[in-house]
Amino acid sequence: MYKLTFIALLSLFTITSNAQNTRISDRNTIGWMAYTGTIKLNEKWGLHTELQFRRDNLIADPQQNLFRTGINYTLNNKLSLRAGYALAETFNYGSIPLNNLGKQFTEHRIYQMATLSDKSGIFEISHRFMLEQRWIGRYTNTSLTKEDDFVFWNRMRYMLRTNIPLKGITIADKTPYLALYDEILIGFGKNVNENVFDQNRLAILLGYRFSPKVRIESGFLNQTLQFSRELNGSNVFQYNNGLILNSVFNF
């Protein structure tokens, strides 16, 4: 029995070591800045707008620009829905570019989202579920300066977030708070290659609610991202760490 256990552990160690040896790492320092605005039309319906400027080398170089819009529908105080469109432009950043030709590329997305919110003691907890249909630009010729083809991918996302007031028991006006979240992104469908695990995002933020209309948050972000392609027979992972700044407005 002990021999079998030893052999199993040795085999597991060997497999793990080989997997690590075949992994290529690319590490970057990032800075993400985001504006989010919600325009409430009535008790049930609203419009969502979002702009994100994602930077590499903290803020020196572009990583990705993202515009997202959508229509919100509130079923009750615990469940809300959203559907909309997003446009992303990803740049050539890091030591290993996402695009195999080292070119920037455009992505069009349609998405559907459901958010469940609850409160347990001082903890405000939310679960966000999202489906994305993605059309990612690619170049069929190295001489091209603009994508001439788009590949369809599916992706699902789940985010768990907790907000904790740092004063009192609820996040009211003029209240600082701590926010923690983790989001995992999973690719699926026939065009997904290496990156079934697409990426994970972990953040810890300090926030301040000025009023029901204005909040601001800033803190640390860790992004782990797997490439959809191999490089010299090895999987490629990005490990991006840096700062994030969010401004949230409700009109």
Share of the chain above pLDDT 90, in %: 84
Q: What is the pLDDT of residue 50?
A: 98
Pairing of strands 234-250, 79-90: unpaired
- Of 16-30, 82-96, 115-129, 149-163, which gets the smallest average pLDDT? 16-30
pLDDT of 5 > 90? The answer is no
**Does pLDDT of 178 surpass 60?**
yes
Q: What local confidence, expressed as pLDDT, does residue 22 receive?
A: 76
Q: What is the pLDDT of residue 232?
A: 87
Would you give the distance in Å from CA 115 to the centre of its chain? 16
CB 242 within 8 A of CB 53: no
pLDDT at site 157: 98
Q: How far apart are CA 132 and CA 113, in angstroms?
A: 9
| Confidence category of residue 19, pLDDT binned at 50, 70, 90 | very low
Q: Any bridge partners for residue 243, and if so which?
A: 31, 220
The CATH number assigned to the domain holding 243 equals 2.40.160
Question: Per the structure, how many domains does the chain have?
Answer: 1
Between CA 226 and CA 228, with CA 227 as vertex, the angle to 5 degrees is 120
Return the pLDDT at 195.
79
What tens digit of pLDDT does each residue of 53-78 get?
999 999 999 999 999 999 999 999 99
Which domain covers residue 178, as residue numbers? 2-250
pLDDT of residue 71: 98
Question: 122-168: per-residue pLDDT in tens?
Answer: 999 999 999 999 999 999 988 998 999 999 999 999 999 999 999 99
